[in-house]
A and B are shown apart, each in its own frame.
Chain A
Amino acid sequence: MKYRNIKLNVLLFITFFLISVLPILIIALASYRIIPDNIENNAVSKNEVIAQVISERIQEVLLSSQRALMLILENSDSTGEQLAFKKLVRTYFPIFSMIQLADPNGMVQSVYPQHPIYLHSDLSRQPLFRALKKQPPLTAHWSEVFMFPETGNPTITVGIRNKSYSLIGYIDLSILHDIVRKTRISPGGYVMITDKNGTIIAHKDFQVVKEQRHFDYKRIFGNGTETIQSSIHYIEQRQFLGSMVKNQLTGWPIIVQQPLEEIYDVAQQLVYTIAIVLVAVMIFSLMLAMLFFVVITKPIDRLVENAKEIERGNYTRSISTNSYYEMNMLEQSFQQMSKAIEQRETDLSKALREKIILMREINHRVKNNLILLYSLFELQISKSDNPAEIETLKDVNNRIQSIALIHKLLYESELYDEINLSEFIGEFKNLLHASFDQFNIDIIHYTNDVVIDITKAIPCGLILNELVTNAVKHAFCGESGKIEITLVQEKDLVTLSVSDNGKGLPDDFDINRSDSLGLNLVKMLSGQIQGTLQIDGTEGTTFTIQFKTGINEEDHHR
């Protein structure tokens, strides 16, 4: 399964990330979704309240002016030119920059303060007077805002008439400037008031008012009937949250503008805080993951390294036990196991050494005994006059020699359960040359390195001895000849063949009926090593024996 390939440190980091960073991230994202909305809603509410309060304040000022004018009208006599008028306008003058008293035709009959330009001037063509004439008596009419030439300030007039004359009061709207200037929104925020057409009549920068700049509030807030509106919009590439409240008396929009970045400053701070916390948590998680990784994997690495050392036969490595409990226990167990293995190996090595010595001694003694036997038979041969007896004893001696050679090789080699057959054939050929030097026979061999099990070594040696001896004695009838010994291995199948270029076998030759001891031995020994024997006597004679090495492949390679 794939997850098994995931490294522990990655797994730990992911785990820590999931349990530490992810919840914070989710909470942060949720907060980021919710908080700006709340901040915006709060700003909108606050700004709308400010606009509402300013609107109410304006209404209060204008209505008080209207009441003052009404008071003047109520306290004047019917002629229009009255003492009461002059007295009262003095009382209420701070509100008005000018008060005109006009006859029903719009001719100004009286002006306060005195101003020759406006005395006897004709108001009949002015929209404010025209609208006033259409108004029922004793009801106020508010004009549009205009720049009063005498002051250069935005001005509005309130007019009230009775049947005899009209009173028109000019209210200097620079008072609005004081109101908006004193209203604090935020460093970049401000309040402005426009007339119904969008001409700015109050702004923190009075120059804007004097220049009668236009603010297209209808485009931003719509031209609906709602008295309170809020909107996000751009002014000179800067985004603002604007709240507008329309004054019910005049229809002027009171607009509170606040740069969006100042509103979202809190949210921005939140984002920064979240980002810092996230980074800190991630670093902490990473460090924690690394710490756990080190605590968990370092001892494991040490164990792995120690296991490799043990594999290499080094049991002396010390294992520190500076880890968590389970790991310490594992390390202690490992150490005990390592000591036990070391002890067992020591014991086994000792036993093996003893066994080797024993084996070597046995083989040595067997070889010595066989040589002793060989010497006894040689002594017997030397004392015998019977050629048949001599021949028989020589045969026996050759067999003893073959077995002794096998034991010599086993004694000399480090291995005691297998033997290199090709090495045996090489030394065996030398022995044969020594034994049959009176014959003019050339013995050659073609062998690969073939290793066979010890149980098959002595039968093979004897088979080879019998076949070569048989060929030397019977194949050539005293003439010269050639004997070839071939040994090949294919997989675990060994093919051993002995061939001569002698006279060959009689046509009716049958090994099963042969009374030759040597051939019977060959047949018997072939069966003993579970081999197959084939005989070809057509051109010379060729004996081929095929058998398995008897060695387990894995053991052999090992």
Chain B
Amino acid sequence: MKRGSVLLLFVICLLIFACEKKTTIKIGYMGPLTGRLSDLGISGRNGAQLAIDHANQQLKEQKIELQLIAKDDRQDVEACLEVGQELVDEGVRAVIGPMTSDMSLAVLPLFEENGVTIISPTASTPKLTGLDDRFLRVNPPDRTEALSLAKYAAEELNLSHIVVFYDISNKSFSEGLYKTFDAALQQMGEIQVSAAPYLSDESVNFSELVAESLQKETDGVFLIASSLDSAQISQQVRKGFPDIAILATGWAMTDDFIQHGGKYVERAIFSHYHNNNSKAPAYIAFVKDYEEHFGNRPDFIAALSYNAARVIVEALEKNRDMDKIKETILQIGTFPALQGELKLDNAGDAYLERHYISIANGEYVDL
């Protein structure tokens, strides 16, 4: 009788084990999947999707499946809040994105209210730096980028008159960066900085914008815009001023910038923490997988998005409670990333070392 009971218990346990259901965990993604900033959104989504695919292979034995729900915020506050609510309604507790600072600031209150944690790959506004909120990021705040480029403009290029073109569709990022850049240069000496804000949409006319903004004494431009906008502005700028110096943010540092910019973007300067030529094994494997999967070389946006997704996966492996994901991430602190370790501080901000990058013969090269 006793032996029979044990056998029965064993069979029941076996059945329960065999019938254990696969747990699906939804991970959100928000970014501009359409419109002029879609390169940012698409790269970010593809990088996140690749990380989720890799994680699903890894978590298969634990019967956990991650599902990426990608939403298009169209770089529009109203649309952003709408898709944010959709993610909340679908039970999402962690979101990769938004990809821009404006959208991050817009959607954060909604996510705070509903206990959704943001891990942004690219939003770098200093307005969200050092806060105990549900906004975490895997890129450093943009202040360091502005300071670094200002230093290069003043000390290496000896520029005297710089026009800053910045896209106000991502004003929180672009205007803040412009102001930091301006303030830094004012401190360094008598360098004149003038602003050329514009709204990136279908009606934008860069030739007119450039003609109106550039002056005879202008010897440098600083582009705070997407890769496509930056490429087109660069073309218009260098058609009239072939030797003008071009400084650009990491936002523009994709293949599109070179392809659409052509010879006009040669010698453009970036200050970035991402190394396109990194030999780190994880990065090389990522590039290979990405190319096989999507047919093109990943940019830094895809890599950051991959890192953001990996942060979530690492946290999940430690604690499956998605309501505690923020606490788990901050508790872990240091994560393996594609190009080395990624460290997050107590406020969920990442700090990465920057270096200068330029374009030579249509390639990104370290300076």
Contact = CB atoms under 8 A, between A and B. Distances in A.
B258 A125 contact: yes
Contact of B49 (A117, A126, A195, A214): A214
Given A152-B35, A211-B33, A211-B34, A121 B228 contact: no
Contacts of B38: 147, 152, 210-212
Contacts of A147: 38
A309 interface: no
B232 A210 contact: no
B294 A122 contact: no
A210 B45 CA distance: 13
B212 interface: no
Contact of A198 (B35, B41, B260, B295): B295
A199 B294 contact: yes
Nearest to B204: A117
A110 B114 CA distance: 54
A206 B228 CA distance: 23
Given A197-B296, A212-B33, A122 B263 contact: yes
Interface in B22-56: 33-36, 38, 41-42, 45-46, 49
Contact of B295 (A120, A197, A213): A197
Nearest to A147: B38
B206 interface: yes
A106 B362 CA distance: 14
B70 interface: yes
Contact of A117 (B235, B262, B293, B294): B235
A204 B76 CA distance: 25
A429 interface: no
Contacts of A126: 259-260, 262
A152 B264 CA distance: 24
A196 interface: yes
Contact of B239 (A120, A123, A149): A120
A426 interface: no
Contacts of A216: 293
Contacts of A127: 259
Interface in B203-241: 205-207, 228, 232, 235-236, 239
A117 B33 contact: no
Nearest to B295: A197
* SS class, residues of chain B in contact with chain A: helix
Contacts of B261: 122, 125
Nearest to A106: B262
Contacts of B259: 125-127
B262 A124 contact: yes
A36 B261 CA distance: 57
B202 interface: yes
B195 to A, nearest CB: 22
B170 to A, nearest CB: 16
Contacts of A196: 295
Given A121-B262, A122-B264, A210-B34, A116 B205 contact: yes
A117 B262 CA distance: 13
A144 B256 CA distance: 14
A125 B206 contact: no
B72 interface: yes
A122 B239 CA distance: 10
Interface string B60-72: 0000000000101
B264 to A, nearest CB: 6
A318 interface: no
A479 interface: no
A54 B260 CA distance: 32
Contacts of A117: 205-207, 232, 235-236
A152 B206 CA distance: 18
Contacts of B205: 116-117
A267 B228 CA distance: 53
Contacts of A210: 33-34, 38, 72
A284 to B, nearest CB: 40
Interface in A113-165: 116-117, 120-127, 144, 147, 149-150, 152
Contacts of A106: 262
B260 A214 contact: no
A144 B206 CA distance: 26
A152 to B, nearest CB: 6
Contact of A195 (B202, B260, B295): B295
Interface in B6-30: none
A264 B236 CA distance: 59
A207 interface: yes
A125 B235 contact: no
A210 B36 CA distance: 11
A197 B294 contact: yes
Interface of B: 33-36, 38, 41-42, 45-46, 49, 70, 72, 202, 205-207, 228, 232, 235-236, 239, 258-264, 293-296, 362
Which 9 residue pairs across A and B have the least CB separation, nearest first? A122-B262, A197-B295, A211-B33, A116-B207, A210-B34, A125-B262, A122-B263, A125-B362, A126-B259
Interface of A: 106, 116-117, 120-127, 144, 147, 149-150, 152, 195-199, 207, 210-214, 216
Given A117-B207, A213-B70, 11 more contacts: A117-B205, A117-B206, A117-B236, A125-B262, A147-B38, A152-B35, A197-B295, A207-B72, A212-B38, A214-B49, A216-B293
20 contacts: A106-B262, A117-B232, A120-B235, A125-B259, A125-B260, A149-B36, A196-B295, A197-B294, A197-B296, A198-B294, A199-B294, A199-B295, A207-B34, A210-B33, A210-B38, A211-B38, A211-B41, A211-B42, A213-B70, A214-B46
